Amino acid sequence: MGKGDQRTKRGKIFRGTYGKSRPKKRKKRALKAAQQEASTPTS
């Protein structure tokens, strides 16, 4: 468990990848639009 371990946050940072242990930060605009889209009922 360290820089070489792809399952840890430190390993993800070292490799420059994202995933479950290191989710990507979404931009505020995109996040707001996604929340509004999800909350709007479609029928």
Could you tell me the residue ranges of all domains in the chain? 9-39
| CA atoms lying within 13 Å on the CB side of residue 27 | 3
pLDDT at 43: 60
User: CB 12: neighbour CB atoms within 10 A?
Assistant: 19
27 — pLDDT class (breaks 50, 70, 90): confident
- What percentage of residues in the chain have a pLDDT greater than 70? 77
15 — pLDDT class (breaks 50, 70, 90): very high
